[in-house]
Structure 1
């Protein structure tokens, strides 16, 4: 039984931004053991499940180093965290079978399972947990996870080279470990649910600065998860075999294969039985009908992703809130959703995921499409129409809109936005580029006017300070609009240091209303997460934050 004290944080979502970097689809056909379309078995009689991925993993098969969805998915099967998430995003037992908070809510103590083995047969202990989280603060660590544990007592000093250890991490005995925070930190448990534990007996032998260069270790990872990685062919596939010693029970499917699939053919492959699960990017009714006619099961849920248009607050065009609000009114967001997503997405009005508990249910301006209202606000802000183009102080309202390639719906929305803004007198020049180039332009003060981007939100919105707090505005990679607002900082701080979820929800409602009014972004839409799967696959579940919940209980029949 997984015990919880003080009703801490069950199943939250977050503002941690993992940028929605949609990679190009792969087209290399994979020479891998193929399912018979009749029985989903390999030639040896083993059951096999194939999961389509648009791009190949990089091969960073370490939960402390991976930075793409594709590597993360592999790692989630190979490694286990202290806490797991179920299909409802609620916490359940992982490597820890119990946790308890101290009376002041500053210290969380984990009691670990005593029956866990690493894939190589070594015992899993609290030393592995301490090693994992201490490594994330090592001055030589090259990954991006430090912020997850930065609020633990002593973590910053260790990270800065001022201490030899992290005083807030204490190994109490072989199967007990505690973490003490400098102040109450509500997202703590969510962070522990996101990070798999790595084996000390392997990685302590390598200098932390060289971890990302250890291709032999990375390509043959040792974890405690339900599957073991047995083969990786870049641009083709990742093959995993079941871990018979998995603490959650031996998986019922013998092999799991991530297959790099061409998005142009993956639906027909699924219909034929050559793939078993596909994350649908197409919402074309003819595609969905084809799958349904083939007997394919389709599930649809709100996702943790949303698309937005950022406006660089350092540009004079966008310093007046009335201009930002006018631009939001001027864009027919509902029209974009209806024409490009149909019933498979919805307009959003605050930077909080629709997939969880914190999105405000009321109090938001919906900014319904209204060109007249937009013109009125622009006139109030001093912009005067001259031959169909707005001018102010002799300067035309002409801006560039950068559009990263790779997300078809986003690309298709750009000319709609261009025309909508032209209708109110704003000239928009579309500039397409790859994602990396677009991200480079947002750094520092920002070398851009407007841009279409996306966020993938993680489990708890308490980490919003990474992206919105004015205290880090000049250093944050993700505060694209250079938004600085003391009241926003206040809400973020209060929500992150409040334990009770109902109280936090009230704070996030106020924060959402503030961002909705200030409009540093035009919040566009959130596309639903749609999964299509082989009807022979039973027990299949997923959520916005748990891609493979209870995978050990999935079955695939003949």
Structure 2
């Protein structure tokens, strides 16, 4: 059965060039990467590498410890995701050209209206504890995300499904959006025709037999969401042990449906960036990849190593400085509610001219040269160049211009009343912005200090606070710490589709800036409105208009889109150099003699 993709997916034929949209045919249920592949190849030059070797352990490195939340529907940190990529699986995955293919889904079919998708599941998949994987697990996963008591941030995978609002409100006990027809057949139904069916159905699946009796508001704290040995997935490795903040150990799953992994085990180590290159050189570390890769100022040193492959795709995400335009009231934070009607406006950042002055006042070009050693591009809108939604002419471009920044502040009524070099606000009151940022990413840590200096140079008194561990920082951002005005963070653009709703729609959990903008919401909705959205040119026009609006309103300052620097040693074979996920097909990894 053939299916013609309607997602206008990215094409990544040239690693560092802009990517074009594609509308490709592909065999459902078949991994294109396996097509005709009978021998393993070297990840760097494609030469035959011989038969895979069995056994052994490899060490992978990340710079920050996970938040210790390994339930896919509740995790938030990329570092937790590093574990989940080995332990859990999805119905659909993407190949190196970012085209969808069936993973746990063996085949599927869409109705003519694009409102219903019937998925046939693989029948040879078992969970780590030996229980069979069934359609009930798929239904349970999406029903849990739609549950009235669910407090996680993955609602975007369920909120467009049929009956979501009624189920979420508790008006019905049956979620119409996903149904198990039989043990290995599941049907997804949408309220409106969807242009992203495979993407919507491509979230990690969790086991119904483990969490079925656990209330949704207790699942996040359940031991099976955090304890090694209790984390149950269908992936090639089992999470078996951890030394918190130091190492996380995974062992090969003997009954993995694609065959037992060649490696016996994989160990994730938390390692400081400053020693990473040395550990690669002496073989203590076998790979440094997502989310941060090799620190840019070490790239030349890594290139000089004779035993290491360097893969440099353009990142699909970006680093940004968020502006806390509003905060949620404490009762909404405690209840896990994001209700724009309840937002408490941050008056310090209410004036658009002030926000625009911040962008003019930050020397992003100098950051890229000085902190990233040129491994990045200044970003003016939420779509990096690698995205098909990128339009160079769409956003308002803010070049570094301190004079323009000061002019905007003075036009907004700011004045240095005391003569200390810092502006007072229009009421004559002291004006101080509090900037918070996390540890773990060296370039971002240094950027915080540069931003503080840049903004002080234009007369804004910035209180650059001491950095916190990423998990603690993320909690403060998510919980709308009332003293926070500015914060540093990064987002990854979804590789399946550039729809910005998950981060920018006013009422979604990931709208950390608490930007409440009716026109933005209207344009976001228009970008996926069928049948118009089946036309790629229509979507590009909508997203160009939206990007211009975002850059004009400045809910955040887009800093840079990086060039990733992923490195792995020659002895680690079977690696798929993938632009969006380096931890693909890890059962095929092996250590060469």
Q: Give the match for residue 240 of structure 1.
A: 250
Is 2:166 aligned against 1:157? yes
More displaced stretch, 251-260 vs 325-334: 251-260
Against the structure 1 CA distance between its residues 243 and 50, is the aligned structure 2 distance closer, same or farther, given a 3 Å change threshold?
same
For 1:370 and 1:514, the matched residues in 2 are separated by 21
For 1:351 and 1:258, the matched residues in 2 are separated by 31
Q: Give the match for residue 41 of structure 1.
A: none
For 1:516 and 1:185, the matched residues in 2 are separated by 27
Is 2:261 aligned against 1:229? no
TM-score normalised by structure 2 residue count: 0.78
- The question of whether the paired residues in 2 share the 8 Å contact of 1:106 and 1:185 is answered with yes
- The question of whether the paired residues in 1 share the 8 Å contact of 2:273 and 2:295 is answered with no
For 2:478 and 2:143, the matched residues in 1 are separated by 31
1:164-186 per-position Cα deviation (integer Å, ceiling 9, x unaligned): 22122222233221111112343
Is 2:268 aligned against 1:258? yes
Is 2:461 aligned against 1:427? yes
Is 2:246 aligned against 1:215? no
Show structure 2 runs of 5+ residues with no match.
13-52, 326-344
1:452 to 488, 499, 512: 488
SS of the aligned residue for 2:466 comes to strand
For 2:364 and 2:375, the matched residues in 1 are separated by 14
- The alpha carbon displacement at 1:81 in A equals 0.6
2:389 to 346, 354, 358: 358
- The question of whether the paired residues in 2 share the 8 Å contact of 1:444 and 1:477 is answered with no
- The alpha carbon displacement at 1:100 in A equals 2.2
For 1:463 and 1:284, the matched residues in 2 are separated by 29
For 1:381 and 1:294, the matched residues in 2 are separated by 57
TM-score normalised by structure 1 residue count: 0.83
SS of the aligned residue for 2:173 comes to coil
Q: Give the match for residue 368 of structure 1.
A: 399
- The alpha carbon displacement at 1:112 in A equals 1.6
Q: Give the match for residue 34 of structure 1.
A: none
Q: Which structure's relative contact order is higher, taking Cα pairs within 8 Å and 6+ residues apart?
A: 1
Q: Give the match for residue 451 of structure 2.
A: 417
Against the structure 1 CA distance between its residues 453 and 397, is the aligned structure 2 distance closer, same or farther, given a 3 Å change threshold?
farther
- The question of whether the paired residues in 1 share the 8 Å contact of 2:435 and 2:462 is answered with no
Against the structure 1 CA distance between its residues 50 and 362, is the aligned structure 2 distance closer, same or farther, given a 3 Å change threshold?
same
For 2:217 and 2:427, the matched residues in 1 are separated by 54
- The alpha carbon displacement at 1:512 in A equals 0.9
- The question of whether the paired residues in 2 share the 8 Å contact of 1:187 and 1:463 is answered with no
- The alpha carbon displacement at 1:535 in A equals 1.1
SS of the aligned residue for 2:86 comes to helix
1:509-557 per-position Cα deviation (integer Å, ceiling 9, x unaligned): 2211111122222211133322111111223234453231232333320
Q: Give the match for residue 3 of structure 2.
A: 4
Q: Give the match for residue 58 of structure 2.
A: 49
For 2:422 and 2:249, the matched residues in 1 are separated by 57
For 1:58 and 1:6, the matched residues in 2 are separated by 36
SS of the aligned residue for 2:463 comes to strand
Q: Give the match for residue 503 of structure 1.
A: 538
Q: Give the match for residue 199 of structure 1.
A: 207
For 2:465 and 2:145, the matched residues in 1 are separated by 38
1:247-305 per-position Cα deviation (integer Å, ceiling 9, x unaligned): 44443333222233344433322211111002365535456415633532222222244
For 2:456 and 2:242, the matched residues in 1 are separated by 49
SS of the aligned residue for 1:4 comes to strand
Against the structure 1 CA distance between its residues 419 and 538, is the aligned structure 2 distance closer, same or farther, given a 3 Å change threshold?
same
1:367-399 per-position Cα deviation (integer Å, ceiling 9, x unaligned): 111223333333443445665544564526732
- The question of whether the paired residues in 2 share the 8 Å contact of 1:404 and 1:453 is answered with yes
Against the structure 1 CA distance between its residues 12 and 167, is the aligned structure 2 distance closer, same or farther, given a 3 Å change threshold?
farther
Q: Give the match for residue 305 of structure 2.
A: 293
For 1:74 and 1:133, the matched residues in 2 are separated by 21
For 1:383 and 1:207, the matched residues in 2 are separated by 52
RMSD: 3.2
For 1:262 and 1:243, the matched residues in 2 are separated by 30
- The question of whether the paired residues in 2 share the 8 Å contact of 1:140 and 1:209 is answered with yes
- The alpha carbon displacement at 1:343 in A equals 1.7
SS of the aligned residue for 1:307 comes to strand
For 2:154 and 2:321, the matched residues in 1 are separated by 27
For 1:492 and 1:121, the matched residues in 2 are separated by 43
- The alpha carbon displacement at 1:83 in A equals 0.2
For 2:151 and 2:351, the matched residues in 1 are separated by 39
Correspondence 1:108-123 to 2 at 5 A: 108-123=117-132
For 1:12 and 1:210, the matched residues in 2 are separated by 41
Against the structure 1 CA distance between its residues 56 and 331, is the aligned structure 2 distance closer, same or farther, given a 3 Å change threshold?
closer
Q: Give the match for residue 86 of structure 2.
A: 77
Against the structure 1 CA distance between its residues 469 and 262, is the aligned structure 2 distance closer, same or farther, given a 3 Å change threshold?
closer
How many pairs align? 522
Correspondence 1:261-410 to 2 at 5 A: 261-279=271-289, 283=295, 285=297, 288-289=300-301, 292-313=304-325, 314-384=345-415, 387=419, 388-390=421-423, 393=426, 395=428, 398-406=431-439, 407-410=441-444
Q: Give the match for residue 64 of structure 1.
A: 73
Q: Give the match for residue 169 of structure 1.
A: 178
Is 2:520 aligned against 1:488? yes
More displaced stretch, 281-290 vs 165-174: 281-290
- The question of whether the paired residues in 2 share the 8 Å contact of 1:61 and 1:219 is answered with no
